[in-house]
């Protein structure tokens, strides 16, 4: 039997997906990360679980943005070091789903 070669999966960049979503970005961030607690974190679950790809390790330092947050709360549940302080954005700000 001939093995079927599985096609490499082409994934759409997250930025393109987020362009479809309506955000009213508050100047005040609703996510705070105590990045000193991130040093030495090998798991970095936040990087992998965030559905908006907002967390990134660059040069050993945690970088994050809050602007395109989908407000699910997955990051703070996944973070074992409890480094993420997460609250809702101010009323009326943040994400507004329209077609879901």
Partner 1 sequence: MHAQQQFDAIVVGAGPAGSSAALVLARAGLRVALIERGEYPGAKNVSGAVFYAPGLLAELLPSFWDEAPFERYITRRVLTFLGKESAFSLDFHTRHFALPPYNGVTVLRPKFDRWLAGKAVEAGALLITSTVVDDLLYEGARVIGVQCRRDNGALYAPVVIAADGANSFLAKKAGLQREFSAEEMSLGVKEVLRLGTRTIEERFHLTGDEGMASEYVGEATGPIKGGAFLYTNRETLSLGIIVQIASLAQQRIRPYELLDRFKQHPAVAPLVRDGLTLEYSAHMIPEGGWQLVPRLARAGLLVAGDAAALVFAAGIFLEGMNFAVASGLAAAETALEAHQKGDFSAATLAGYRKRLEQSFVLQDLQRFRLTPAFVNNERLQNIYPELLCQAAEQVFRSEGRPRKKLGSTILTTLRSKVSLWTLLRDGWQAGRALFF
19 or 36: whose CB is closer to partner 1?
19
> What is the distance between the alpha carbons of residues 85 and 75, in angstroms, rounded to a whole number?
10
Phi and psi torsions of 85, nearest 5° = -100, 120
Query: Which residues are near partner 1 by CB under 8 A?
Result: 4, 6-7, 9-12, 14, 17-18, 20-21, 24, 43, 45, 48-53, 70-74, 77-78, 87-92, 94-100
The CB-of-61 to partner 1 minimum distance in angstroms stands at 19
Tokens of 34: 């105590």
Cα dihedral: 56, 46, 87, 69 (round 10): 60
Work out how close the CB of 25 gets to partner 1 at its nearest, in angstroms, rounded to a whole number.
13
CB of 21 to partner 1, least distance (A): 6
């Amino acid at each position: 039997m001939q093995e079927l070669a599985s096609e490499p999966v082409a994934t759409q960049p997250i930025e393109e997906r987020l362009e479809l979503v309506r955000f009213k970005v508050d100047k005040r961030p609703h996510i705070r990360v105590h990045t000193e607690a991130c040093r030495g974190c090998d798991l970095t679950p936040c990087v992998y679980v965030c559905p908006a790809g907002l967390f990134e390790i660059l040069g050993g330092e945690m970088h994050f943005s809050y602007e395109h947050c989908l407000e699910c709360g997955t990051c703070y549940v996944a973070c074992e070091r409890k480094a993420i302080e997460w609250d809702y954005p101010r009323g009326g700000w943040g994400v507004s789903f329209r077609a879901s």
